[in-house]
Amino acid sequence: MPDYSHSTPCTLLDKLWQRHAVNTTPDGHTLLYIDQHLVNEVTSPQAFDGLRMNGLRPWRSESVLATADHNVPTANRIIGIKDLMARRQVEALSRNCAEFGLTEFPMHDARQGILHVVGPEQGATLPGMSIVCGDSHTTTHGAFAALAFGIGTSEIEHVLATQCLIVKKPATMQVRIEGETRRGVTPKDLALALIAQIGTSGATGHALEFAGSAIERMSMEARMTLCNMALETGARCAMIAVDETTITYLHDRPYAPRDLRRDQAVQYWRTLHSDPGARFDRIVELDAATVRPQVSWGTSPEMVASIDGLVPDPAAEQDSVKRQAMERALAYMDLTPGIRIADIALDKIFIGSCTNARLEDLRAAAAVVRGKRVAAGIAQALVVPGSGLVKREAEAEGLDKIFLAAGFEWRDPGCSMCLGMNEDRLSPGERCASTSNRNFEGRQGSGGRTHLVSPVMAAAAAIAGHFVDVSQL
């Protein structure tokens, strides 16, 4: 176990960086050792081709866990993948994993799902790890006091071949969230409120560490949502210190250490927090008690308003760049300044994604729709579990029956309508309440209009046909 008994107080980032730094050059670049590598079907094919071209093999095959999530169908999976490109990518992942001796959860495996759901639930994500994946929302895994971030295809090849990556250490930002949340306010709302406060570039070049009384009360599922959305502040990674919640969650996970190894691991895990007096480059504070349920109105996660608010008027914005961005967003979203957020009618509902497709999210949404029906004006309402195991547990609790009785579609796991790379997508002009993480133009389908909300807000909107204040239900 590393010794952190030196006199200078360390941040959590300092401890993780020190543990994984192989070498640091005078210009500040660090050769960082990578513990866990999560691989999907979209960003990995060229990386495996690079290994073949150079006659290389993975340096540590046991560090790799792969599953297809972006392209997999969430309905009628038994008949296979219709889209040729999607099918080729999924098939290529299976071939590559077989050739190079890597662990894969294939499409029909009960453990298949979104990597940022599968990793934690399998215990492949552990405190103190460095974790990379060819997907930007790898920040999710930082909820376990891990150093986790997304990488590109060339970097995937580099990690497969060398188990290392050349990076620069980011600056540190502590985000303190104190206070009790109001009824109906979720971690998704806290995340959107934070993004609205500091902007989508407010944490660029930083590693975020969430702290405060509101964080300490959160479940691991809630913490994962927060770290997932932290990417939308521009942060390189996000972290939360280990506590009893973390340790309890990991007990008896398939890939987690057991018996004596677990005792040793837990002893180390308990050191994974920032020391008293540790210096951060920046500190941001958010009062949880002031946050209301949030709804995005524009084409950036920072363009959000409270459910009791109005669509803003660009004319009131002094910054010309922001004003122009607001004008373009409102034109794309077909919204008029000054209308009530609660008056925005919807076409589709999507509950899923690596942000909000865990069992806790589905339970909360089901509690809202129980005994009710989806509004007549809603053309489609999807519930897409984050993994096959989440789906199985939800069905064991009867959540699928609640959703189906209300008029929702109950699907197989995958990224689904989060990014529209499979058959689940918006048509031009369709408006969706989505529990995903991004809302830029065309994110869920060409011409589609995305409003980011929490699972309970999406569920309530499905029943009403428009946005409503879930805290009043």
- 354 annotated as a binding-site residue: yes
Q: Residue 418 annotated as binding?
A: yes
Residue at 56: amino acid letter: L
210, 177 in Cβ contact below 8 A?
A: yes
Q: How far apart are CA 148 and CA 59, in angstroms?
A: 19
Number of Cβ within 10 Å of residue 297's Cβ equals 25
- Angle CA(427)–CA(74)–CA(98) in degrees, nearest 5? 125
C-alpha–C-alpha distance, residues 455 and 434, integer Å: 8
415 is in an annotated binding site: yes
What is the helix (H) or strand (E) element at residue 301, kind and residue range?
A: none
How buried is residue 28: exposed, middle or buried, by Cβ count under 10 Å (0-12/13-18/19+)?
A: exposed
Q: DSSP characters for 26-56?
A: TTSEEEEE-SEEEE-SSSSHHHHHHHHHTT-
Residues facing 148 on adjacent strands: 131
Q: Where are the beta strands (DSSP E) in 221-347?
A: 237-240, 282-287, 294-296, 304-306
Tokens 């190079």: give the residue.
100
CA 401/CA 375 separation, integer angstroms:
18
Binding site residues, as ranges? 354, 415, 418
Feature table: binding site for [4Fe-4S] cluster:
354, 415, 418
